[in-house]
Amino acid sequence: MTATKVLKAEARDRSGKGAARALRRQQKVPAVIYGGKQPPVGIALNGNDMYVLLHGGGFMTTLFDIDVGGKIEKAIPRDYQLDPVKDFLTHVDFLRITEDSTITVEIPVHFINEAASPGLKGGGVLNVVEHTIELAVKATNIPKSIDIDLTGLEIGDTIHISGVKLPDGAKPVDRSDFTIASIAAPTVAVEEPKPAEGAAPAEGAAAPAAGAAPAAAGDKKPDAKK
């Protein structure tokens, strides 16, 4: 389960493009908290703090306790926008969370115990089909990752979602028994053999006499002795 992080925020009364631009000039990120059958709340966040959180990994699956002037709003990021040139955050949408909230999130897949897979030790290749899995989970029980154990897997074995242990209450959004990964046979490149040095010439080709220089183009044969 992902840990909840505390995030300091300021309430903002003004909205609109002009107010948002003014906040960005102060190195702040405009944001909004919505949902939970309550009115939306406009907030401003520290731009440097948000840059670190965004690029630290797992931002969209992190649960935040947002402190807005002493009032705690439990929320999770649902969307964000970046400046197309400078790549900094220009806006964040947070979804307000309750104890019963169920959300859909993309969870990364991690593979463990590769050394314990006979197929991989024998030269097989791990062919990953799904790097993330979309799950419907309780917002208060979001896993950091889905760990898949490769112990004992041979070449030709396939890992389906039905064979993966998921967190309690979590369900894949895709109801089919889709493939996550497989152990494929190694691909061997076949090189054409090169002729050995000093090999005999092809049939029909005359071999040059020992010590004889190759005839130059236009050379005439010497006249026979009379």
Alpha helix segments (H runs only) across 2-142: 17-25, 47-55, 118-121
Q: Give the per-residue pLDDT at 183.
A: 97
Which pLDDT belongs to residue 194?
66
Query: From edge to edge, which strands make up the β-sheet containing 146-149?
Result: 146-149, 102-112, 132-138, 171-172
pLDDT, residue 43, reads: 94
In this prediction, residue 192 carries a pLDDT of: 63
- In this prediction, residues 78-92 reach a mean pLDDT of 90
pLDDT value, residue 185? 93
> Per-residue pLDDT tens for 110-134?
999 999 999 999 999 999 999 999 9
Do domains 5-98 and 103-184 share one topology? The answer is no
Calpha distance 59→40 (Å, rounded): 21
Q: Comparing 209 with 22, which gets the higher pLDDT?
A: 22
Q: State pLDDT tens for residues 140-190.
A: 888 889 999 999 999 999 999 999 999 888 999 988 999 999 999 987 655
Q: Does domain 5-98 have CATH number 2.120.10.90?
A: no
| pLDDT score recorded for residue 199 | 56
Q: What confidence score (pLDDT) does residue 226 get?
A: 44
Q: Which two tokens stand for residue 215?
A: 């005839």
Instruction: Judge whether residue 44 has pLDDT over 70.
Output: yes
Q: What percent of the chain has pLDDT over 90?
A: 58
Q: For the chain, what is the mean pLDDT? A: 85
The residue extents of the domains of the chain are 5-98, 103-184
Rounded to whole angstroms, what are the CA distances from 54 to 25, 29, 87, 117, 217? 19, 12, 11, 35, 74
How confident is the model at residue 158, as a pLDDT? 97
Superfamily of segment(s) 103-184: Ribosomal protein L25, C-terminal domain (2.170.120.20)
Residue 11's beta-bridge partner residues? 43
Please tell me the predicted confidence (pLDDT) of residue 175: 84
**130 in Cβ contact with 108 (< 8 Å):** no
The Cα–Cα gap between 20 and 12 comes to: 10
